[in-house]
Amino acid sequence: MRRIVNSAVAAAFAALVTACAASIPASVPTSPAPVSPGWEPAPVVALPAQPPASLVVDAPLPDQLAAGLVVIRYRAENLRIVPVYGQAALDVSPRIGHIHVTVDNAAWHWADGSGEPLIIQGLPPGPHKVWIGLADPTHKIIDSKAVDFVISAQGGHH
């Protein structure tokens, strides 16, 4: 008798599951639509693994450069630029860091954790080089790019 009841319950459950599955129309998606390609991982959770960080640097904006004003845009990939430093910051996720900037191979650099474009004014006419290093929170350089450009004679007397 007990075996018969169990079989009946099992059959009823199977019928219920089948009915529920059948009630989902095939045209309704069961998960969100996939996001467009090119999105970075959402930086709202710790990432289990991250590709290496890299630096992308654009050429100086041409209109401003013609007037002697150097505006250089840059961005980091797989790293968020923030003014946070120290050994403990190496362990956070998503990865963080900042940039170091050297102009015309100077022996010194400045650091910037703003992520804002570089704006350099008053360079004399002639060729120049801006080097940007992507640094981890302990100031170790993990990628770098250099941009060469020329300040024209007309644009140089700012």
- Where does this chain bind Cu ion (CB under 5 A)? 111, 135, 139
As measured in angstroms, the least distance from the Cβ of 143 to Cu ion is 13
How many Cβ atoms are within 10 Å of 55's Cβ, its own excluded? 21
As measured in angstroms, the least distance from the Cβ of 58 to Cu ion is 21
DSSP 128: E
As measured in angstroms, the least distance from the Cβ of 111 to Cu ion is 4
Residue 72 or 135: the one with the smaller Cβ distance to Cu ion is 135
The residue number with the shortest CB distance to Cu ion is 139
Ramachandran angles phi, psi of 63, nearest 5°: -65, -45
Under 8 Å between Cβ of 125 and 151: yes
Whole-number Å distance between alpha carbons of 94 and 91: 9
Tokens (6 digits) for 122: 């008053």
Which stretches within 23-114 are classed as H helix?
62-66
As measured in angstroms, the least distance from the Cβ of 77 to Cu ion is 18
Q: Closest by alpha carbon to 122, among 157, 94, 87, 78?
A: 157
As measured in angstroms, the least distance from the Cβ of 98 to Cu ion is 6
Residues 83-92 as b/e (b if ≥16 CB within 10 A, e otherwise) read eebeeeeeee
Residue 139 or 145: the one with the smaller Cβ distance to Cu ion is 139
Residue 80 or 139: the one with the smaller Cβ distance to Cu ion is 139
Residue 75 or 139: the one with the smaller Cβ distance to Cu ion is 139
Residue 111 or 146: the one with the smaller Cβ distance to Cu ion is 111
